[in-house]
Structure 1
C-alpha cells in the first residue's frame, strides 16, 4: 500500500492535538444564519461571520501569506505559485443548520468528546472537513512552490441557505475550473441532482366554525432538513378523547410527543426524527406524522384539504411519486422530495415549502405545473436558486485521480456516486464532492447529536494530502 513521505506522516501525528483544539473552537461558534442581526459587516448574522473570521485567524497564526475575505461573505487561503494559470478550488463552508436544542443530549456548541466521537452542530456538516482541509494546506504550505497550479481553500458562510457567499466570491475572484468539496463521503460524487424549492400556497380561511378548528400548525426550520418537531393548536375537540387517541398514536408510530389543554383548545407537539433533506427516507417527518394524527378530527373543508394533502400525499413520499412528479433517469436515478417547512395560521395563507432534488431532463417549473394541474386548490411559487443538475465525466482526470488516490491510500477501491445532496463541488466545471466521512459510517448531518468520527483524522489527512498534490499538478 502507498505511503506518505515520512515527514508528512510525522506532521500528521504531531498536529493532531492542535487540530482538535482548533476544531473545538470552530464548533463553539454558533454559525446559524441570523437575519435579525445581519448588517453590512455580517450579512448572514454574527455567527457565520465569526466562524469565517475564526478559520481565517488560524491561517494568520500559522503564517499563510495569501489570505482574503470577500464582502464579509466568503474567504480564502491560498498556497502554490501565485502566477499559475489554473486554480484548484477546495470549497468548504462554516455555517450550520438550526438546532432543536431540546432534543439534543449534548450541548450543540461545546464540542463534547465521548469515545471516538466529537459531538456538536456542524461537526459532520462540515466543520470536521473544514479543519481537515485547512490542516492539509498547512502541511503542504512549504512544498507548494513546486505545484503547477495554485490551490485555494475557499470558505463560504451561507451554504445552508442561498449560496450568495459563493456568488460574491466568484464575482470578485473568478471561478476555479477544477477541484472538490469535502462535504460528504469518500466516494467520488461526480453527479449531483438539481435542487429547487417550491412554495405550495393554499387558503387557510375558516369556513365552518362549528367543526374542529385548526388554529395553527408549524414545523421545520430549514428547507433541507426533515422536520424533527411539529406543533399544532386546535379548538372544538374533547380533551379526554383526544388524549387517548394521541397516546395510541404514539404507541403505533413509536414517536414521542405531548397533548395538553391550553387557551380553550389543545396544544399538540409531536417529535419525529430529523435528518438531511437529501435523505428524507432516513428520517421521520414530524409534520406529516402529525397530519396523519389530526385526520382523526372533523375539520372544515380548507383544513381537511391541507391535512389530507400532508397525510395522504406527502407522508413518506420520499421520491415524489404520490405527488405525481417522481422522475427517474439512467444518469441520476430518482427525484427526491422533502417537506421541510410547513406553516398554517387560520385565516391566512398556508404554506408548504418543498425541497425537490431532481435529475437531468426535468426541472422545477415542470414540477410546479404538474402539481397545480393535479391539485387546483394549490398555487405553486418557484424559488429559482439556479442549482441545476451537475455531471462530470467519469473519464475526467479529476475523477480518475481521486479514485486512484483513495485506492492507493486505503488499499481498496471507492466508487462513483450520484448525489441527492448539494455540495459546492457542483459550482466548478470540473468539480466533484469527495470526503471526509468513510463508507459505512453513519451520517449525522442535520440530525440531533451530530458528531464527527475522530478516528477519521489520520486516514482522511493522508487522502487529502495526496489528492491536493495530484490536482495541483494536473494539466
Structure 2
C-alpha cells in the first residue's frame, strides 16, 4: 500500500533537528542529566516532542537514549537510529545546521547519518498508525545519542532497564539488507625493547578507522612527508595510506629504524592474517596511526575480520610476526561480528518488502562496517542508501534527496507493517 505523510511538515521537523549541533564529543555542557552533552539531550527531546505530537508514548533515558512507542503486544519490533553526528569539518558551501534545500536535496550534517533516517522512521511509524493497518506488536523507535564514538554508552544505558526487541533493524547503512558485519579489532603494536636505529620522529594519522592521508618524519634534520587519500577502515583499498607510503620513502632514502621494518610487515601477508570466508569475505587491515618519539614507537591498526574467524588466532599470528623486530601487541578494542543467516525470517521479510517496493533483486550483503544492529541479537542493518548511490555520510556538504527520503519512508513503513502484523516469532 501507499503510506501517506505530510512531506512539508516532515521537512520542517527535519530542519529543526538539523539545527541542533549534536556533535559527538562536542555537544555542549555535560552534567548528570546530560552526560553526552546538552545538545545531544536537546536533539533526543526534539524527537520525543515530535513523537508526542503524533500521540506516541515517549521516554528520555537520562540524556543518553530516547524511546518512542506505538502499538501493543507481547513482542517488540525495534528500529535503531541515532541523533549524534560527526564533526562538521571545513569547506561546506552551505550552513551545515540549516537544512538548506537545493535541487531537491536537503543539505546538513546528519541528513544522511542519521538524523534524516531517524525522522523518516518516526514519520513512517505515524504513516503506519494513520493507515489503519492492524499491528499486533509493539513498535519502538530507539534513539541513540552516542553512536559515532563507537562506545555506544546509549545502548548500555538502554539495556540497563529496557526490554530487548525480539527483532530489529537499523536504517543507518544501505540496502537491500546487511545480514553480516565483520568483526572489528583495534590493536596497538609498540616496541618492547630500547629503540635502536637512527634518531627519528614520525607522526601520521588521527583516527584509527580512517586511512591516513598525511604522514611526516624528521631524521637528522631532514624532513620527509607523504600524502595519501583517506578512506574508511572498512574499505582501506579505496584509499592511499600515507603512513605506509612514507615508510617506503624513508627506506629508499637509506634510513634504518625498527619501526620501518614493522611498517614493512603491516599488511595481511606480513602479519600472516590473509583470512577469508564465504560469508563475509576477506580480512582487511588499516595501519592508521603511527608515532615515533622519545617515548618509543607505536602503530595502531584497525582490522575488520570475517565472521567465522577466531580473533585470538588473529592476534596470535600478529604477535608472532612482530616479535622478531622487537614489538608486542595490545588489544585496544574488539567488537564481535554480526551474522544473521540470509534465509532467516527477519532477513527474508525485510528483503521481500524492499523488492516489492523497488523491484531491485539485489541479494543481501555483508560489510566491513559496524552498525547499531550489533547492539541486539536478531537485528540487521536495512537502508537507507540504495545500491550504487554515492555515500555522503561524514562528508562535506552531506545531503539526502527528498525523493530518496520518500521512497525510504515507504520501505520502512512497509517493513514495520510486515513485522508488526506477522505471526509470533515471525
TM-score in terms of structure 1 length: 0.79
Cα distance between partner residues in 2 of 1:113 and 1:30: 18
1:398–1:410 distance in 2 versus 1, CA, 3 Å? same
Cα distance between partner residues in 2 of 1:295 and 1:42: 50
Let me know the Cα RMSD of the aligned residues.
2.9
Which among 324, 327, 350 is matched to residue 378 of structure 1? 327
* Partner residue, 1:55: 47
* Partner residue, 1:277: 233
Which among 182, 201, 214 is matched to residue 200 of structure 2? 214
* Partner residue, 2:128: 140
Cα distance between partner residues in 1 of 2:265 and 2:354: 42
- Mean alpha-carbon deviation: is it higher for 176-185 or for 32-41? 32-41
1:428–1:144 distance in 2 versus 1, CA, 3 Å? farther
CA contact (8 A) 2:180 2:367 kept: yes
Cα distance between partner residues in 2 of 1:327 and 1:424: 25
* Partner residue, 1:64: 55
Cα distance between partner residues in 1 of 2:23 and 2:262: 31
Superposed, 1:37-436 pairs within 5 Å as: 38-60=30-52, 62-81=53-72, 84-99=73-88, 101-102=89-90, 107-142=95-130, 146-160=134-148, 161-202=150-191, 207=196, 213-221=199-207, 223-227=208-212, 229-232=213-216, 234=218, 236-237=220-221, 266=223, 268=225, 272-295=228-251, 297-299=253-255, 301=257, 305-310=258-263, 312-314=264-266, 317=267, 320-340=268-288, 342-376=289-323, 377-385=326-334, 387-436=335-384
Cα distance between partner residues in 1 of 2:158 and 2:321: 41
CA contact (8 A) 2:284 2:304 kept: yes
Query: Structure 1 residue 464 and structure 2 residue 412: aligned?
Result: yes
SS in 2 for 1:123: coil
SS in 1 for 2:342: coil
CA contact (8 A) 1:274 1:446 kept: no
- Mean alpha-carbon deviation: is it higher for 35-44 or for 433-442? 35-44
SS in 2 for 1:467: helix
TM-score in terms of structure 2 length: 0.87
1:95–1:298 distance in 2 versus 1, CA, 3 Å? farther
Cα distance between partner residues in 1 of 2:211 and 2:363: 27
Q: List gaps (5 residues or longer) in structure 1.
A: 239-265
SS in 1 for 2:60: strand
Cα distance between partner residues in 1 of 2:420 and 2:275: 38
Q: List gaps (5 residues or longer) in structure 2.
A: none
Cα distance between partner residues in 2 of 1:72 and 1:309: 44
Q: CA deviation at 1:472?
A: 0.8
Cα distance between partner residues in 2 of 1:41 and 1:297: 56
CA contact (8 A) 1:156 1:165 kept: yes
SS in 2 for 1:331: coil
* Partner residue, 1:439: 387
Query: Structure 1 residue 451 and structure 2 residue 404: aligned?
Result: no
Q: CA deviation at 1:87?
A: 0.7
Pick the structure with more helix per residue.
1
